[in-house]
Chain A
Amino acid sequence: MSGNRVLDAGSDSARSMLPARRWGLRLLAVVALLAGWQAVATRSTILLAPPTEVFEVLLAKVFVDRTLLRAIVDALRQAALGYALAVAVGVPVGFLVGFWTPARDVLDPIVDALYATPMVALAPLIIIWFGLTVVAKVFLVFVFAVFVIIINTEAGVTETPEGLIEAARTFGANDRQVYSKVHFRHALPYVLTGLRLGAGRAIRGMVAAELFLYADQLGQYLIDSGATFRIARLLAGIVALSAVGVLAVGAAERLERRLVR
């Protein structure tokens, strides 16, 4: 996949290692982390809570009194809305920009610049525009996710090999067929990569919205835990959020693998 070309590059070349050894090393790393954490945490209980306690709190907050679970589900609802909007806007704009050169000329530098901009810097503007409302949060998630989707979709269209198009034309394909059968097909894996990356960014946007716009349950959970030095509670929240991020990206990845064969 073009998406992680750089990150995945070479993952096969130097990685000729027995799976048993690989998993052993990973396990060792995790065990060492937990042991070190436990050792440090038992020495200074103000700054750090031991992993056992964090785990305990995590289970309690997710399955027993469910404060954390409810907070995350609530935030996820807004994230899902923002993400859906980002997909609904990003994919068509990506195709438009990919197909229509003048639009690409004009929008490319703008999309690039916005993509490089820290979206959190827009939070003050968003507050001016929408106030401290749910709309503001959904909008922040939207801007977090939309540009990756545009950029990947566009790349999928513009990088369709000339040869494919020419071959289709040779066999008598008309414009519409070239667009729908060649460009579209070629763009699909890129679009899906965009959707996966967008999902990860939507989760980040959700956290940013909770912390930088106004704190709903999730933001309050994190901020209150920190302000009252309930470190185990705080760390449990952070761990749960990471898990949600991994799950969201994992789900998008599964979709990607199913659709691209």
Chain B
Amino acid sequence: MSRVTRSGTDSEARNTESEPRNASANRERSRTATRTRERRRNRLLGGLLIVGLWEFVGRLSATGLGIAPPSSILVATVDLYASGAIYGPLVETVVRLLIGYALAVAVAVPVGAVMGVSGTLDELLGTYVTIMFVTSVASLLPFLIIVVGTGLGFYVAVVFLFCVFHMILTVRAGTANVGPGLVEAARTFGATNWRRYRYVLLPAALPFAIAALRIGFNRAVKGVVVAELWIYAGFGSLLHSYQRYAQADYVFAVVVHVMVIAVLGVRVLRWLEERYAGWEGGTS
């Protein structure tokens, strides 16, 4: 549920910042430009300040406290590539992530759409979805091992369970949100059932579907990390092996990779969302 908040507030903030809407658009635009420049400067200065402080504190505390200074994280990152240690785990992790995510999308979109359209099925399936939504997937880990073993299936199952329910609920909200008025109007103008779905429901629900993909991707990344730290593999085994020797700089370097995957995926999907959101303006 939490991710949804972010999407809501975020897109809203972005819209009000980037779209001058009233008559004094020109003045407004120049103000936005100044604001953008100011923000960029603040980010640069603030970023430098933070990195500088971090470096300073990290150097002072030496290696004992594990506050690896940024420079040593950079060195560790370069070494991860130079030694080739990162490639295998990276591919492993991304493949597991994508398999579980793709399966979840394949299930969540139809199920969510059906729940959004039919009140009866919504109540029936919604009960299960809600039960699973409130269950902490991490607590299922010992159980999942028993059921699906420790092979590829385990990772895929964890990723799937992490993201599928969030996506179902978002897609459901999207289809349920297409006002009955819109569907009614289509019916009045003689649209057949199929056409109502294809030309009214689908385009209206599309932004939600993409929002669901974005929310789901973020959850999927969480899922793959949890799974790989439970049964060490991919990034998980990398993180674990560096942690055992207290190599904080290497751990940081791997964590940064996880962050980049999470943030990049979400960025791409948000870009798609903004592109296809149309005049309705995103997820709101």
A interface list, Cβ under 8 A from B: 2-11, 13-17, 22, 25-26, 28-30, 33, 47-48, 101-102, 105-107, 109-110, 112-125, 127-129, 148, 151-152, 155, 158-159, 193, 197, 200-201, 203-204, 207-208, 211-212, 222-223, 225-227, 229, 231, 234-235, 237-238, 241-242, 245-246, 249
Stretch at the interface among B81-89, B102-110, B123-131, B186-194: B123-131
Contact B225 A242 (CB under 8 A): no
CA distance A211 to B6 in the complex (A): 27
Contact for A116 among B124, B134, B141, B262, CB less than 8 A = B262
Residues of B within 8 A of A119 (CB): 222
Contact B1 A116 (CB under 8 A): no
CA distance A81 to B230 in the complex (A): 25
Query: Is B47 engaged at the interface, CB distance under 8 Å to the other chain?
Result: yes
Contact for A152 among B5, B7, B65, B266, CB less than 8 A = B5
Query: Is B142 engaged at the interface, CB distance under 8 Å to the other chain?
Result: yes
Show 19 A/B contacts (Cβ-Cβ < 8 Å), sorted by A: A4-B1, A5-B283, A6-B7, A6-B8, A13-B177, A14-B116, A14-B122, A16-B119, A25-B124, A29-B124, A29-B125, A102-B42, A102-B46, A106-B45, A116-B259, A120-B229, A151-B5, A204-B138, A246-B134
Contact B176 A113 (CB under 8 A): no
B interface list, Cβ under 8 A from A: 1-2, 4-9, 12-13, 38-39, 42-43, 45-47, 49-50, 65-67, 116-117, 119-120, 122-125, 127-128, 131, 134-136, 138-143, 145-147, 169-170, 173, 176-180, 208, 211, 218, 221-222, 225-226, 229-230, 235, 239-240, 242-243, 246, 248, 251-252, 254-255, 258-259, 262-263, 266, 283-284
Contact B177 A10 (CB under 8 A): yes
A49 to chain B, nearest CB (A): 10
The 10 residue pairs across chains A and B that have the minimum distance between CB atoms: A226-B142, A106-B46, A124-B243, A10-B177, A10-B176, A105-B42, A25-B123, A29-B127, A155-B9, A118-B222
Contact for B255 among A4, A30, A125, A234, CB less than 8 A = A125
Contact for B136 among A102, A114, A152, A242, CB less than 8 A = A242
A6-B173, A25-B127, A242-B136 given; 19 more Cβ-contact pairs under 8 Å: A8-B173, A9-B176, A10-B178, A14-B119, A117-B258, A118-B222, A118-B258, A121-B235, A121-B255, A124-B240, A125-B255, A197-B1, A204-B138, A211-B138, A212-B230, A227-B142, A234-B142, A238-B135, A246-B134
Contact B128 A129 (CB under 8 A): no
CA distance A245 to B136 in the complex (A): 8
Contact A28 B124 (CB under 8 A): yes
Contact for B208 among A6, A106, A116, CB less than 8 A = A6
**A105 in contact with B258 given A5-B4, A25-B124, A129-B65 (CB within 8 Å):** no
B99 to chain A, nearest CB (A): 18
Residues of B within 8 A of A222 (CB): 139, 142
**A113 in contact with B263 given A28-B124, A105-B46 (CB within 8 Å):** yes
Contact A155 B13 (CB under 8 A): yes
Contact B43 A7 (CB under 8 A): no
Contact for B5 among A128, A148, A246, CB less than 8 A = A148
Contact A125 B252 (CB under 8 A): yes
Residues of B within 8 A of A5 (CB): 4-5, 8, 283-284
Contact for A47 among B120, B147, B170, B266, CB less than 8 A = B147
Contact A7 B1 (CB under 8 A): yes
Contact for A120 among B1, B218, B225, B266, CB less than 8 A = B225
Residues of A within 8 A of B258 (CB): 117-118, 121
CA distance A159 to B152 in the complex (A): 45
Residues of A within 8 A of B46 (CB): 102, 105-107
Residues of B within 8 A of A9 (CB): 173, 176-177
Contact B248 A13 (CB under 8 A): no
B130 to chain A, nearest CB (A): 9
